[in-house]
Amino acid sequence: MDTSPIQHFRSDRMPHSLSRRTVLRGLGTAVALPLLDVMSPSRLLSAASPNQSAPLRMGFFYVPNGMHMPDWTPKKDGFKFDLPPTLAKLADHQDSINILSGLTLDGARAHGDGGGDHARSVAAFLTGSHPRKTNGADIQNGISIDQMTAKYVGDRTRFASLELGLEASAQAGNCDSGYSCAYASNMSWRGPTNPMSKEVDPGSLFDRLFAGQAVKETRQARSVREKYRKSILDFVLEDANQLHKTLPAVDQRKLDEYLYSVRDVEKRVGGAEKLRLNEDGVPDYPRPSGVPKELSKHAELMMDMVTLAYQTDSTRILSFMFTNAGSNRSYPEIGVSEGHHELSHHGKSEHKQEHIAKINRYHIERFAYLLDRMKRTPEGNGSLLDNCMLVYGSGISDGDRHNHDDLPILMAGAAGNRIKTGRHLKYKNGTPLCNLYVWMMQQMGAKADQFGDSSGVLDQLV
């Protein structure tokens, strides 16, 4: 296990090899580096395992209210299946994904507790547990897969895990038929009574990843940067230039592309802080400071920083909620004025099902944007996406039925050549989703043979 401290690049040393923990430093600022060839020279000597020195990452991406399943499920199993309408935007990534049909989330079922499927589906999605029905302080759930895995590998990175989303978490209140809002708005749980709140502000996340790295940004540094409107990168420019001179050409290109990405995200985050005002001079949309009004722009900024967080090895474990459970957000940007939750109770209405499918495609497009970014980010002899295993889906299948079997589950990334991708894998209906999580934990190096309601380790992935 690599527990070495963060190291400052020293320009007086030619980096025949460079620590993975090396950072560029400036006034109160430290910026992590992407994986460079000089950080792992042994990889250049072994073509048999091209990504052996690249870290493996896991991520979980949740969408609410189930799915229009006829537009989600491929008609053919195995390789070379036709992408159904909802997944059509993933055409460029079909060889990097698997669709997993038949997986079930038993913890989200009522088990005598009556209504509340939306809150239960989120609370159970990563825990595999059945949450106690309460809207008081006596919440009770299980530890989630991301936090369980972080116990084994979280100390290898600056952040053991990141919990992100597009809608803020709540820790109290009645959100779904007697279930606490803590269940409905958090899918990551550090312990049975400890939900992990999401970061939804792109600016705050950027500061966590860069301005506060290694050392907290000092008041002087923040004051200088704000006064002269300087970039984070302006303070580490001298370090960056010195390092650039000592790198081989392939690493120079990687460094240039990475620093360009950081500066681009920083500029867009700065632009997002400018609230649009209506004719009365007040904000026309209630949102946390720094969050763009347009959901698509908000999502893109967050996905850019997911990429940077993985690329710099700031974390290897991440969860992301597009919206909270039972979200009734409308999507006027795609011509859907009705609320999402309302539409999910479609009663077989063709109009409502058509609009649900539109929302499903909209969410997938945001995920496709992330896969685009990660696939274009080189790492080792492949891409960043090659060294990830990302789970996308929902704890509800058909929103009208509120069923929790045959869930819409997609897995992206080759997990460092551990997965055969490009397939539709159809499992026996009722197979625990937690079987997948046991497999993922094992790939991350965790000593686990059981999690939640697992009945074994999911097969067919390799």
Return the domain boundaries, the chain: 23-32+54-237+301-443
Buried b vs exposed e over 120-151: b needs ≥16 C-beta within 10 Å?
bbbbbbbbbbbbbbebeeebebbbbbbbbbbe
Q: List, in sequence order, every residue forming a beta bridge with 104; answer none if it has no partner.
A: 432
Cα separations (Å) of 2 from 19, 210, 416, 443?
A: 10, 21, 19, 17
**Residue pair 62/122 in contact by the 8 Å Cβ criterion:** yes
Tokens 């009522």 correspond to 110
- Cα separation of 404 and 105, whole Å? 6
350 CB neighbour count, 10 Å cutoff: 8
What pLDDT shows up at residue 174? 94
Q: How far is it, in rounded angstroms, from Cα 199 to Cα 218?
A: 22
For residue 86 the two structure tokens come to 């909802």
Q: Which residues pair with 379 in a beta bridge?
A: 382
CB 113 within 8 A of CB 123: no
CATH architecture designation of domain 23-32+54-237+301-443: 3-Layer(aba) Sandwich (3.40)
Type of residue found at 63: V
Mean pLDDT split into 10-residue runs, the chain, 462 residues: 50 59 66 77 39 84 98 97 98 98 98 97 98 96 97 92 95 94 97 96 86 48 49 70 82 79 74 46 40 91 94 94 96 97 97 98 98 94 96 98 98 97 98 98 94 97 94
**pLDDT for 44:** 37
Strand 22-26, strand 7-8: pairing: parallel
Burial 270-279 (b: 16+ CB within 10 A, else e): eebeeeeeee
Give the side-chain half-sphere CA count within 13 A for 261.
Answer: 27
pLDDT at residue number 35: 78
Would you state the pLDDT for residue 333?
Answer: 95
Q: Say which DSSP state 283 is in.
A: B
Length of the chain: 462
- Strand-strand pairing, 174-176 and 179-180: antiparallel
User: What does the pLDDT read at residue 16?
Assistant: 55
Return the structure tokens found at 150.
């972080």
> Over the Cα atoms of the chain, what is R_g?
22
- pTM here is 0.83
In 3D space, the residue among 64, 57, 94, 59 whose CA is nearest the CA of residue 79 turns out to be 94
Helices (H), 79-171: 117-125, 145-153
pLDDT given at position 32:
77
pLDDT for res 1? 41
One-letter amino acid for residue 149 of the chain: T
Give yes or no for a contact between 318 and 230, defined as CB atoms under 8 angstroms apart: no
Helix (H) or strand (E) holding 49: none
Tokens standing for 165? 């989303």
- At 245 the pLDDT is 83
Question: Residue ranges of the alpha helices (H) in 324-432?
Answer: 340-344, 350-375
CB atoms within 10 A of CB 248: 12
| Strands 57-62 and 22-26, bridge-based pairing | unpaired
